[in-house]
A and B are shown apart, each in its own frame.
Chain A
């Protein structure tokens, strides 16, 4: 394998704990795309929870760890818009005015990619192995959409799959109400926002809602099941593309 093809896969803490199959799906896609994938075994969390809650010290400790673990890779790829958003747009804010750390944070930010963004724009990946058959609707996760610019990439990849029909829901760019610790601190409001999202998903008539972030995934699936919908599947885009969600 030539230089410049080494990808560090950051599976993210939520995928690690809740949905390992999404990590394997991402791994499969990156390997199919012809990259040498490394999975640093000591990886944990990017620090986003502490950062969003104003606990800078814990965010910084985890950012340092993340930078040290992944900076040797040519690319860092994660199946999560919000973790990538954390690294790309916020890591630099953790090291204001610190020459060395700031430079390392910025260097990591520059080579970190959200999975679908990487597959479309770096790998020019055109043959997803998944064989999913059915209609799906796509939920645009907020951080991916607004911090990283993930919008067309997953849709372009899904369009490569002959069995997949995309039916857009109304207000697909509206927040699902997750918001990290917001979902626990303000559970009632969070669930009310999730309910609005689920109503739009149901109205789309799709068999599955596909998305790219674990927080939204757990939130939407949790609300769908609570409102009595056992039918609509909730899938990460990597699962659909790789065939782990068939």
Chain B
């Protein structure tokens, strides 16, 4: 997928000005966050915190010996008849999939949601090679019809309202326009059924790779993942190298924290552990199974000061709790992963210079860190990226000069006293009788949507010194 993150500000402006989009955001509001809170309380707040700690430890343990667990996964998966392929970058993902299509003569792919395939722009590559990709997750299906990228990693069409979906269905299904959600869902199901039965390739993501059994664990809510992984002749699972975990026991812990953090469900509707292709005597399953294990930038996190990011289990809690994401939505971020996790992943995967706004576009409020099921210190990581930008000379010179000047003055108390005394008097004058400034020099961004309350006109230190002179 082409990176548009350098246009964050313009895209965010568009999103804020889009009345329809804003009303969609408002209507859904903090739905996922509220459900997570309820699930956490139902589980027991203390127990849930223990679960987060345990989950972070499991992820760290896997990452500490990532090579060992990946090779173990390959060995166990191969032993059970799965072919494990490695992709250094997204180009290799496309190449592997197209080669598989050519080898088996495949013509139609049904897909369950895979963010890694979005990274690779896989659908476009398949189409260009004459293979028809059909998204079968309802949200992904909707945005495929609309020719849009997902705006949320677990609710890809969350930016669309019912009316837009009704229009899309009427246009593409060539049936009378429906306005009942249940009827629309039924219609999508009918449309998808034919695809499920006629596809020869199933493409899925992988929520986890279990090293000890060579399995791919899949979490879905619509059951489409099961169809994708069992009906077609060939199943290809694509996932990142960081998704490997040592044991099924680890999987059971992580699967307690994942759905609760994502949608507030105690358990997702469908949970599949796929281990190899159909064996002799099996009633169903694909004839061939491939797992493509992807780097595409992930190893840049390994062994560095931001490795915690690789703990991510893609639940979306960080964006559900992010005030910026809630205001501007996922498309503003301009790539596959929006919100706080995207603001860390996008610059590292695609080059820090291609996403300069993202690490800056956060209030560092910490809500994401607190909500993260694997305790990724997202605000710290964003701050580190800001420092890397600064060190690489990628910030405007005025910004760096501004901080240097501030530090220069603030480490010289007499100069600072003089400068602040002048500044507060000037700002007080600007504030006038109402005591508020509606246009701030050097702070136009501030006064775009709010006033700046005027200062009192004297600094605390001036007043305190005066009081001390008067004897308290």
Contact = CB atoms under 8 A, between A and B. Distances in A.
A53 B440 CA distance: 21
A103 B456 CA distance: 38
B458 A54 contact: no
Interface stretch (A108-116, A131-139, A220-228): A220-228
B19 interface: no
Contacts of A50: 403, 406-407
Nearest to A60: B407
A219 interface: yes
Given A52-B364, A184-B445, A193-B324, A58 B404 contact: yes
B12 interface: yes
Contact of A187 (B388, B404, B448): B448
Interface stretch (B41-49, B79-87, B355-363): B355-363
B450 A44 contact: no
A51 to B, nearest CB: 7
Given A13-B410, A17-B423, A50-B403, A56 B387 contact: yes
Given A17-B420, A191-B448, A49 B361 contact: no
Interface string A29-58: 000000000010111110101111111111
Contacts of A53: 386, 390, 399, 403
Contacts of B399: 53
Given A55-B390, A184-B446, A188-B449, A142 B455 contact: no
A190 to B, nearest CB: 7
Given A20-B459, A55-B400, A44 B416 contact: yes
A185 B169 CA distance: 40
Contacts of B387: 54-56
B410 A192 contact: no
Interface stretch (B111-119, B172-180, B251-259, B365-373): B365-373
A23 to B, nearest CB: 4
A89 B360 CA distance: 20
B65 interface: no
A218 B453 contact: yes
Contact of A182 (B16, B326, B361, B391): B361
B72 interface: no
A218 B451 CA distance: 9
Contact of A188 (B16, B370, B464): B16
A49 B438 CA distance: 23
Interface string B218-247: 000000000000000000000000000000
Interface stretch (A150-158, A159-167, A172-180, A202-210): A172-180
Contact of B413 (A42, A147, A186, A187): A42
A165 to B, nearest CB: 25
A186 B9 contact: yes
B461 interface: yes
Contacts of B403: 49-50, 53, 55, 58
Contacts of A61: 407, 411
Counting chain B residues whose Cβ lies within 8 A of the other chain, the interface size class is: 35 or more
A142 B363 contact: yes
Interface string B403-425: 11011011101001000100110
A189 B12 contact: yes
Contacts of A19: 455-456
B376 to A, nearest CB: 14
B445 A187 contact: yes
Interface string A65-89: 1000000000000000000000000
Contact of B366 (A42, A45, A143): A143
Contact of B406 (A20, A24, A58): A58
State the main secondary structure of chain B at its contact with A: helix
Contacts of B12: 186, 188-189
Contacts of A42: 413
A139 B155 CA distance: 30
A168 interface: no
A30 to B, nearest CB: 13
Interface string B92-133: 000000000000000000000000000000000000000000
A179 B363 contact: yes
Contacts of A16: 420, 459-461
Given A44-B410, A193-B327, A175 B365 contact: yes
A186 B16 contact: no
Given A177-B323, A186-B9, A222 B445 contact: no
Interface in B434-455: 436, 438, 443-453, 455
A142 B327 contact: no
A174 B367 CA distance: 8
A11 interface: yes
B433 to A, nearest CB: 13
Given A55-B404, A174-B323, A45 B361 contact: no
A54 B383 contact: yes
Given A44-B411, A62-B407, A184-B445, A222 B390 contact: no
A146 B372 CA distance: 13
Given A17-B455, A175-B323, A223 B449 contact: yes
A224 B291 CA distance: 55
10 contacts: A43-B461, A45-B410, A53-B390, A56-B390, A58-B406, A62-B411, A146-B370, A182-B363, A186-B361, A189-B328
Given A54-B385, A62-B411, 6 more contacts: A16-B460, A18-B453, A50-B406, A175-B323, A222-B451, A234-B453
- Closest 7 pairs (CB-CB, A-B): A191-B449, A179-B363, A187-B445, A58-B407, A54-B386, A54-B387, A175-B365
